[in-house]
Amino acid sequence: MKIRLIFPKKNGDPGAMGMTMPYILPHLAALSQPWHKIELVNLFKQKEDYGGRLPDLVGISVMTPMADEAYRIADEYRKRGVKVVIGGHHASALPQEAKSHADAVAAGEAENTWKIILDDAERNALKDFYIGGPLFDEDNFNGFSVYRSPDRPLLTGLPLPRRELLKDRYFFDCIITTRGCPYRCKFCGTSRFYGGLIRHRPVEEVTAEIKHMGRFFLMADDDIFGDIQYRLELYSRMSGLKRFMRWHGAGAVSAVLERGGEEMVKLAAKSGLDTVFTGLESAEGDTLDALEINAKLRRREKGDLERIATAVKKVQSMGIMVFGFFVLGFDTDDEKSFEKTLEFCDRLNVPPIPFLLMPLPGTPLWDDMSGRISPGQGWGKWDGVHALCDHPALSPRRREELLHKLRASAYTFRRIVRRLKGFSPVAAINGLMMQAGIRRSFISDWKRANGRI
């Protein structure tokens, strides 16, 4: 059976994600039976081609901002008689919606369902839904055929991703070492999707994979500083694996203040970590409280921003550049909140990555705010630059303008260069490239939001 696995992008995307290998594609290829012919298509690098010999089966992994484009592609293949399976986070949150564009929907994690899907496709007996993990009640799928694997997969003995099937080169390779998150932040669906317990890949299997990878990579875990004891062993083993290795990832920097946290971050830096993206979320104490993320940020009391600042500075002192994610546009925010965000980042020497409030399907925030989303919004507007919900004080247009002003002010040449001081030449060059890429993406975001691309 010929299988085409597709990673879609949204219209107008500048392609920054095209620098990093989409891990899901070679991972699914490795989970497939060896007799299948697999083709990998990353639309950040390639164009979809419906000519020539069509595949027998198409698999599409969907994130919410790409959902409209993914559905369009799925519909085109189905018109041509090709069977389509849709999976990914968006399909796992809204499986019924995805089913209207697919022959089958793969919800949840694929390790225990993907081979079953391929076997059923070969027999021309695809079921409507394949559920990997404890995600839904039986009542969600009355009247449909369902295969259910109730347990979350163990992350042991996973095959090496089939990177050789990728048609393009990537500046950053990619690896995943853990799944699951103990925190239940309102805007994040990770704990619902992957569970509240952190599952680990064996350290020896992770290091064996790294030996087959490029020297620059993303560790695409939800928290590269989560579960300190595991990280102590992993980063100790990673140190010295290669003569020159640099990597980055996302993590809660406040872990550096915990027992064993400082040693863990030092080992991470020794192993090649030079950049961490962290969810600082807001410079407003009231907003942080409303988001229910005190545990993740290790905030001990309301408005305890200084503790967060201390953690950031400690991580920076180890030669690791810190980028901060921020969400703006909550009911507790006003125009000054955008200014405070930039002031907070200037004080900490942190490049901000700000977004507007975006209730993602499958998150507690979606449950709370779905009734407040303005009508007529396509999934392509779930990009963090469109104001999706009503607000007690700020119009949608005003919020979008304030975000653009914040982003433009944060990435002036002077600020970009100032943030590089004190870092090693290698870390500074990497930080310069990342900031330049973010600036380019932000400019493209504003053009797309105004219909100019």
Query: Are residue 257 and residue 391 in the same domain, yes or no?
Result: yes
27 and 78 share one domain: yes
Question: Do residues 109 and 213 share a domain?
Answer: no
* 319 and 391 both lie in a single domain: yes
Same domain assignment for residues 197 and 123: no
Is the pLDDT assigned to residue 291 strictly greater than 70?
A: no
What per-residue confidence (pLDDT) applies to 220? 96
Are residue 141 and residue 176 in the same domain, yes or no? no
Q: Where a domain ends, among 149, 180, 198?
A: 149
18, part of any domain? yes
- What is the pLDDT at residue 234? 98
| 134 and 178 both lie in a single domain | no
Dump pLDDT digits (tens) for 278-289.
Answer: 998 888 877 777
Pair 97, 196 in one domain = no
Residue 347 has a pLDDT of 95
User: Does any domain span residue 49?
Assistant: yes
Mean pLDDT of 405-411: 98
CA 234, CA 184: separation in Å to the nearest integer? 25
Task: Evaluate if residue 324 carries a pLDDT over 50.
Answer: yes
Q: Measuring CA to CA, how many Å separate 26 from each of 6, 55, 104, 150, 203?
A: 11, 17, 21, 25, 20
- Which one has a higher pLDDT value, 242 or 40? 40
Within a 13 Å sphere around the CA of 246, how many CA atoms are in the beta-carbon half?
16
Q: What's the confidence (pLDDT) of residue 178?
A: 96
Residues 247, 348 within the same domain: yes
Provide the pLDDT for residue 82. Answer: 97
User: What pLDDT, on the 0 to 100 scale, is given for residue 160?
Assistant: 96
| Tokens (6 digits) for 261 | 């946290």
Is 129 within 8 Å of 146 (Cβ atoms)? yes
Residue 16 has pLDDT above 80, yes or no: no
181-193 burial by CB neighbour count: b if 16+ within 10 A, else e?
A: bebbbbbbbbbbb
Question: Residue 176: pLDDT above 50?
Answer: yes
pLDDT reading at 431 higher than 60:
yes
Least confident piece of the model among 174-178, 289-293, 370-374 = 289-293
- Report the CATH number that the domain containing residue 54 is assigned in CATH: 3.40.50
* Residues 176, 42: Cα–Cα separation, whole Å: 19
d(CA 384, CA 356): 5
- Quickly state the pLDDT bin for 452 (edges 50, 70, 90): low
- Residue 198 covered by a domain: yes
pLDDT digits (tens, 9 = 90+) for 211-260: 999 999 999 999 999 999 999 999 999 998 887 899 999 999 999 999 99
Is residue 277 very low, low, confident or very high in pLDDT (cuts 50, 70, 90)? very high
- Whether 58 and 132 map to the same domain: the answer is yes
Q: How many domains does the chain have?
A: 2
Q: How far apart are the first and last CA of the chain?
A: 38
pLDDT tens sequence across 145-168: 999 999 999 999 999 999 999 999
Q: 28 versus 295: which is more confidently predicted?
A: 28
Residues 396 and 283 in one domain: yes
Of 285, 284, 230, 223, the C-alpha closest to 254 is 223
Query: In the predicted model, what is the mean pLDDT of the chain?
Result: 91
Contact residues for 237 (Cβ-Cβ < 8 A; gap 6+): 203, 204, 206, 207
Q: Look at residues 149, 184, 213 and tell me which one is the last residue of a structural domain.
A: 149
CA distance 172 to 438: 15
**How many CB atoms are located within 10 Å of the residue 397 CB?**
9
Q: Which residue has the tokens 């959902």?
A: 67
For residue 177, give the nearest of 234, 233, 113 by alpha carbon.
234
Radius of gyration from C-alpha coordinates of the chain: 22
Residue 392 lies in a domain: yes
Residue 297 has pLDDT above 60, yes or no: no
162 falls within a domain: no
Compute the average pLDDT of residues 56-69.
96
Mean pLDDT, residues 60-86: 96
Give the model's pLDDT for residue 79.
96
What phi-psi label fits residue 87: left (phi over 0), alpha (psi between -120 and 50 degrees) or beta? beta
Q: Residue 101 belongs to what domain range? A: 2-149
164 within domain boundaries: no
Which domain-ending residue is among 95, 114, 149? 149
Same domain, 197 and 264: yes
In a domain, 212, yes or no: yes
**CA of residue 350 relative to chain centroid, distance:** 20
Residue 106 CB-density burial (10 A; 0-12 exposed, 13-18 middle, 19+ buried): buried
Amino acid at site 209: E
Q: Which CATH number fits the domain that encloses residue 244?
A: 3.80.30.20
pLDDT at 366: 92
437 within some domain = yes
User: Could you tell me if 121 and 56 are in contact, meaning their C-beta atoms sit under 8 angstroms apart?
Assistant: yes
pLDDT tens, position by position, 298-311: 544 455 688 889 99
